[in-house]
Structure 1
């Protein structure tokens, strides 16, 4: 029998007898996320496990992503403080440098995750984190557009594996019902990076040094931070829960029981090519990839070009960097609270659609508003409203996966889609379009509308699939244990998060 689906909530199918009608039917036992088979003592151990892992695993990867994003956008800060004039670059050279990063970033997402799955994950992640810092610092030594292009390509390649690899770590350490909020925290630190980087660049612009220019200090300081953080990570991060010295035996047993109920083994290291093929053929993942691509494009409009857009309205470089921090503070709040909003609304897809609808209003105001003040208001609105988009898309696709390998490929695909979105954004905000940037804003309006439509469509399709599985009996008795495991989210007892 064939099954359709694509998510992560595997439970045991059990027979329940309807005593009034004397009929046997197949129903789903609500095990995952409710810990119904855990004793009170085990639940307490599980709470201690989450607390310890949040302080080590979640916090480490969140800070790492903040540094990753600061390195990625360092070129925008360097542009504001004099890099263009110092290197005698044309406006098109800057856009090409931005785009070359995303080419390497897009192409090496999945290969990097395959390497991560086939080797020691911690060692691979720390290597990537250290290498991206070295590449960023090397950019301070460039003499022209060719060397700048080379540094950006290499930076994109080494940085490609960190976001998707981090999602894999979170998926390996937290069960499905818990991983979504951690992914939200993870992506929220991109907004934190913009809050920190703006004032930092403004301060660096005042440095007077005949040997090292302010734009070079941007690359040197922002590059040194991930190198130091990678060294810290070697001492505080373990590959899998069962190998963690900071966990007690009781805590390891409690999380192992939850993962077993979920159908995952957090310490299973083999790469399963059958599950990989399922991921590549899963149309639900591809819809999420398009949502992630579009959401990341509109987010990058503010992340990459926020200071540039403000400067085009007549502000100084220092004032532009300072003002850019304001909407990013509220963007961080919007992103960090998006998990709460999802729980209140009861649907990730509907939440995604609401945020992007608000962002659409912001872009429209930025285009049509007659006064500078209202244009700034529009810019602030879309920077804030687009902040949660990629996090919601990534959390949605990750929480709707099962198996040991399929989540790895899914996280790589959506990260690659996001990178492609960043690549396109690099070319739609052109200097000749200042100060209204009608081309860039118009493209973003269309993308926001696309996200709204696809989010609502996928929500309806997943709800329909859940209802179909509720109403249909599936016989798995002829399948082996491995065949049942390889069903992943196509398991008939799996229910998608809408």
Structure 2
């Protein structure tokens, strides 16, 4: 939380003591619960479908995708990688478009189009067709993850976002679990309509997405000021809480705040941490069925055995972010999970024993998945101003999805069945994230201490309107802003 030590009377009125307005802790808790029920479930559902559509190619691979499309060498890896440059390119423009339009319009628009791309993927006949549909899938899916993280920041205070982002991101772990179960069931449809089982995986899961997208426009609430499920006093309280959390930092649309984000070195550190987090996640989600099959299991059993690691990942993702919100810490949690992830991949690389390898997949999942919501909440909490925050979140996700390009080539067929090289590469990436996280944790604590010292020496002062206007330009560099450690 920023420590506001200065401000005019009008600012004080807007951020007045909520208990004087009937908003005690119990009432605030009820308000947050109401927001949660109306916002998070649907956002989690569409992200589950998005992640399922993006990664179900890993399940389809076990049902003769490569053989039917006559893929050779690293062509399968090329089809994985081609999605990500277009996904990355779409992220900042998509967040700007969501700011210019409305979440309900923009998210519905991209969801319909990525669902259509997914269905088309089920009818491809060759390498070129698969590459083309993956390009369109990347273009239209690119806006969802940064868009929803920005959307959450428009409803919740900084110390409340991590748990909500974890609830939303946990849908990725559920997608992995459901993907294995669905793929095992859909395998029985091989030959129906003259199509292979892998085709039906793409078609049926794409149809599920497009059905949900038809209701998205009415299910998505845009902003607190227009939310129909809130009463007038509840709308005012949500907006008051956000103002108290960010002070008078700018929420207007102006490209100069986009450039502020682009020139902020801290965001680039978070981009690298996110890249080193998403690389093992994409590697894991795209290749886990293959890795488990190479432990000696049949294709159908491998599909089912890919489920438990995701279940454990889901539990730890939600639990860690809930606790991190309670103590308002991010860095130390990230450091802990990074060490668990390193241990998991070390077990995979270090032994041929299938039981120990499988335990490694569980530890790897527990270690890598919580890093993303923790890291997203950390970066978003430490960016001041609405548009700069939206741009900074999109930049972070862009960095993360560069990890997706790398992940597509981590596990090559020639390195099977043990994939020691791939596991070692991922250990290296997580280790890089560990040292960058350690650096940012130390820097944030020292910077907060420096600002506290300056504030104590200056004492409490009241800002003029001109000074407040100047501070709007500084975003998180304003003297009273405190970073979340």
> Compared with structure 1, are the counterparts of its residues 423 and 337 closer, same or farther at alpha carbon in structure 2 (3 Å cutoff)?
same
Q: Which of 461, 467, 477 pairs up with 1:490?
A: 477
Asked if residue 212 in structure 1 is aligned to residue 195 in structure 2, the reply is yes
What's the CA shift for 1:125?
0.8
Deviates more, 1:295-304 or 1:66-75: 295-304
Asked if residue 180 in structure 1 is aligned to residue 172 in structure 2, the reply is no
Aligned counterpart, 1:463 = 445
Asked if residue 242 in structure 1 is aligned to residue 229 in structure 2, the reply is no
> Compared with structure 1, are the counterparts of its residues 152 and 265 closer, same or farther at alpha carbon in structure 2 (3 Å cutoff)?
farther
Aligned counterpart, 1:261 = 244
Gaps of 5+ in 2: none
Q: Which of 111, 116, 119 pairs up with 1:129?
A: 111
Asked if residue 111 in structure 1 is aligned to residue 98 in structure 2, the reply is no
Secondary structure in 2 aligned to 1:310?
Answer: helix
Give the paired residue count: 473
Secondary structure in 2 aligned to 1:42?
Answer: coil
Does the CA contact (< 8 Å) of 2:92 and 2:394 recur in 1?
yes
Asked if residue 412 in structure 1 is aligned to residue 413 in structure 2, the reply is no
What's the CA shift for 1:37?
4.2
Question: 1:266-296 CA deviation, whole Å, 9 max, x = no partner?
Answer: 995x422222122111111111111010011
What's the CA shift for 1:78?
1.3
Asked if residue 276 in structure 1 is aligned to residue 237 in structure 2, the reply is no
Asked if residue 41 in structure 1 is aligned to residue 27 in structure 2, the reply is no
Q: Which of 356, 359, 365 pairs up with 1:383?
A: 365
Does the CA contact (< 8 Å) of 2:160 and 2:325 recur in 1?
no
Question: 1:227-275 CA deviation, whole Å, 9 max, x = no partner?
Answer: 222222211222211111111011011112112212368995x422222
* Aligned mates of 2:361, 2:449 — CA distance in 1: 41
What's the CA shift for 1:440?
1.0
Secondary structure in 2 aligned to 1:190?
Answer: helix
Deviates more, 1:203-212 or 1:294-303: 203-212
Secondary structure in 2 aligned to 1:337?
Answer: helix
Does the CA contact (< 8 Å) of 1:256 and 1:265 recur in 2?
no
1:134-173 pair list within 5 angstroms: 134-173=116-155
Q: Which of 410, 418, 432 pairs up with 1:436?
A: 418
Secondary structure in 1 aligned to 2:82?
Answer: helix
* Aligned mates of 1:349, 1:222 — CA distance in 2: 36
What's the CA shift for 1:311?
1.2
Note the aligned Cα RMSD (angstroms).
Answer: 2.2
Does the CA contact (< 8 Å) of 1:259 and 1:265 recur in 2?
no
* Aligned mates of 1:110, 1:322 — CA distance in 2: 37
Question: 1:339-381 CA deviation, whole Å, 9 max, x = no partner?
Answer: 2342577631111111111111111111111322222222222
- TM-score after normalising by structure 2: 0.93
> Compared with structure 1, are the counterparts of its residues 203 and 91 closer, same or farther at alpha carbon in structure 2 (3 Å cutoff)?
farther
Asked if residue 397 in structure 1 is aligned to residue 379 in structure 2, the reply is yes
1:59-78 pair list within 5 angstroms: 59-78=41-60
Does the CA contact (< 8 Å) of 1:345 and 1:351 recur in 2?
no
* Aligned mates of 1:157, 1:350 — CA distance in 2: 35
* Aligned mates of 1:264, 1:130 — CA distance in 2: 37
Q: Which has the higher helix share?
A: 2
- TM-score after normalising by structure 1: 0.90
Aligned counterpart, 2:4 = 12
Aligned counterpart, 1:198 = 180
